[in-house]
Chain A
């Protein structure tokens, strides 16, 4: 097998494996008993999406998509803090 064709096949296979692994956090997102469980599942889903975008960069040789990865990883880091702030305000308003 030629190297370029092997790389394309490997990238497509990696995207397939990651797409299958997207199912399990989704199950946890539906099933999770409390809100922090769902936050953790959402974190895992965004990590998998970032991985899929990096595989697509390697498949299509289009490195400018790395900016998308940068923005999504910022959102990944900030979103649990926003949800934690929301939970705190909701509880203190109820009291």
Chain B
């Protein structure tokens, strides 16, 4: 019985990861893409770790997956913040870049 639940969770999380990478290619703005990386991917990995813990009921698997989950929760916002701040800073200093990047930066300033 537990195998069927685990298989269903595996397929659902694979579809969530597929949706996240579709979002990476579809969104126009850098900040919108970072929304996808921090949230949807964390959700997919949460489902996968839940499936692993349902399948193998061992205490050290639970401990390691808790460590991995806390790394993902508390360090991925920090790395997203660092990337966003560098992008803001590069836009402010007017670095010579491709025309597409300049278009997106002017859109940000207009909003």
Contact = CB atoms under 8 A, between A and B. Distances in A.
B102 to A, nearest CB: 9
Interface in B1-37: 1, 3-4, 6-8, 10-11, 13-15, 17-18, 20-22, 24-25, 30, 33-34, 36-37
Secondary structure at chain B's binding surface: helix, strand, loop or mixed? helix
Contact of A14 (B14, B24, B85): B14
A44 B64 contact: no
A57 to B, nearest CB: 6
Nearest to A94: B95
Secondary structure at chain A's binding surface: helix, strand, loop or mixed? helix
Contacts of A36: 30, 83, 86-87, 90
Nearest to A11: B10
B82 A81 contact: yes
Contacts of A39: 83
Interface residues of B, number: 59
A70 B71 CA distance: 9
A15 B27 CA distance: 25
Nearest to B10: A14
Nearest to B33: A40
Interface of A: 3-4, 6-7, 9-11, 13-15, 17-18, 20-25, 27-28, 33-34, 36-37, 39-41, 43-44, 47-48, 50-51, 54-55, 57-58, 61, 63, 66-67, 69-70, 73-74, 76-81, 84, 87-88, 91
23 contacts: A3-B1, A6-B7, A7-B7, A10-B11, A11-B10, A18-B14, A24-B22, A24-B24, A25-B21, A28-B24, A33-B101, A34-B30, A34-B97, A40-B24, A40-B33, A44-B41, A54-B52, A55-B14, A66-B65, A69-B64, A76-B76, A77-B79, A79-B79
